Structure 1
Amino acid sequence: MPASTPSPQTATAKTEAPVAKLGLRARGKLEKRRRIKQAAREVFLEKGYDAATTREIAERAEVAIGTLFVYAKDKRDLLMMIINDDLDRVNAELSEELGQIQDDAPLIDQLTNFFGRRYRYWAGEPRLARPAVQATFDFLSTSTSQGPETARFYARRSQIVELLLSIIVSKQKAGKIGAKNSADDIAALFMTIYLTEVRRWLNDDSPQADLGIARLRKLMALALCGVAPAPGEADI
């Protein structure tokens, strides 16, 4: 069974960097960021993401609205600030695990563990997960410039793809899956399944990680096995 991912509440307490060796100014900036991040979490959970305002978050954090915008460009950026540190840790755990994993582990198990960690993280606080996932989809259709935390979120996507590619390439080299299709295309297929399915799962009133992971695994297994088309039905 995959190790459980810390809930956002538990993980947040561990995300702040040690401050003992920082200068006074650096400690002050770190403390302001901590207050803004905590205030954003509280207001989003109390009011809902759509109803929350940056002014209310600034007041809760006891900073000027202008100061808040130094740390986050907009409300989306504040949301990304909350989840970025947590997702960095999820990626780090996956990267470490991939360095130790045995090549004979079935691909479907590796994929389930890979994406399952993110499901368990999102399930920790659906009220934050829903707008976070939705915001990433919305952003793709706009030309709005990215704030620093949103840019950080998107920079992580290449890291996720690289981790997934390492699994696919390893299986191809071991002759466990076909090499007719590129590892890039295979990774893109599984990323598409995940991104579509996680959004559908989060629309449940109370998304359960185990149920969401089970359905994702079923769809990924279908992609691995194919639908056995008759001749001519899948010509490329």
Structure 2
Amino acid sequence: MKNPTASSAYPPELGLRERGKLDKLRRIKQAAREVFLEKGYDAATTREIAQRAQVAIGTIFVYAEDKRDLLMMIVNNDLDAVNVKGAKALQQDGPLIELLMGFFSLRYRYWARNPQISRPAVQATSDFLATMVDRGEETRRFYARRASIYAMLADVVRRKQANGDIGSNADPELIAALFVTIYLSEVRRWLSQPAPKPTAGLARLRALLELAIEGLGPTPAERQALGRKD
């Protein structure tokens, strides 16, 4: 007797070979998620993931370059959805700080779901600039998302500058980089806690972003030392 759920899981136009590939991919992703959650990323092995997915270990490497690629495979679709929601949050009207918090809060709440997976994923994000070697497709896809984040934040800054909502005429890309740097530093610190709570993490992130937006109000002597004019 056929399982109606299994037979309707994939589009009817797909052949048996394609359905088989998709089923293996589904099992590998599920197994990787389970093993990472149970053992932690560092202790997990691709061999154990293959056994849990009921595939040969060589099959794992058809779908993922290495263990990091498996991790990225788990979070990529989720983070794409987070980015779509984040883009909509940044397109709203309102003060810059509220737009930034609307954007970053989506990420904090996502990371808070499964810290065992989130910690190594955020670490991979932080390692982006130091990563010069070739990586698997899923890892490259993960890193490529950084450019879209910078672009979205820079667009918001540019819009605020054009409207006269912020006085700084600094390069929007540079300002966006500052916001991302603050976020990456803070989210790693926050995730290092045994049970990270979004409310506390977001409160500290907001305080630092507010400081970045407001500036330190330097005296004329300090401004001169910075090479700026009054």
TM-score by length of 2: 0.89
Match of 1:27 in 2: 19
| Paired residue type of 1:57 | I
Q: Which moved more, 1:17-26 or 1:32-41?
A: 17-26
Match of 2:148 in 1: 159
Query: How far 1:229 moved relative to its partner?
Result: 1.6
Taking the TM superposition and a 5 Å limit, the aligned residue runs for 1:127-206 are: 127-138=116-127, 140-206=129-195
Structure 1 unaligned regions, length at least 5: 1-16
TM-score by length of 1: 0.86
**Percent identity at matched positions?**
60
Aligned residues: 217
Q: Residues 64, 204 of structure 1: CA spacing in aligned structure 2 closer, same or farther, 3 A cutoff?
A: same
Distance in 2, matches of 1:94 and 1:18, equals 29
Matched, 1:121 2:110: yes
Query: How far 1:18 moved relative to its partner?
Result: 5.2
Taking the TM superposition and a 5 Å limit, the aligned residue runs for 1:14-93 are: 19-93=11-85
* 1:171-219 C-alpha deviation (Å, 9 max, x unpaired): 1111101242111111111011001111111111110001111100000
Query: How far 1:142 moved relative to its partner?
Result: 4.4
Distance in 2, matches of 1:191 and 1:18, equals 38
- As a proportion of its length, which structure holds more helix? 2
Structure 2 unaligned regions, length at least 5: 1-8
Q: Any idea what SS the aligned residue of 1:232 has?
A: helix
Query: How far 1:110 moved relative to its partner?
Result: 0.4
| Paired residue type of 1:219 | L
Distance in 1, matches of 2:185 and 2:25, equals 32
| Paired residue type of 2:164 | G
1:209 aligns with one of 176, 198, 201: 198
Q: Rg: which structure is higher? A: 2
Q: Residues 189, 37 of structure 1: CA spacing in aligned structure 2 closer, same or farther, 3 A cutoff?
A: same
Distance in 2, matches of 1:106 and 1:228, equals 20
| Structure of greater relative contact order (alpha carbons < 8 Å, 6+ residues apart) | 1
Query: How far 1:124 moved relative to its partner?
Result: 0.8
Q: Residues 89, 177 of structure 1: CA spacing in aligned structure 2 closer, same or farther, 3 A cutoff?
A: same
Distance in 1, matches of 2:150 and 2:11, equals 33
| Paired residue type of 2:78 | D
Q: Any idea what SS the aligned residue of 2:220 has?
A: coil
Match of 2:3 in 1: none
| Paired residue type of 2:207 | K
Query: How far 1:139 moved relative to its partner?
Result: 5.4
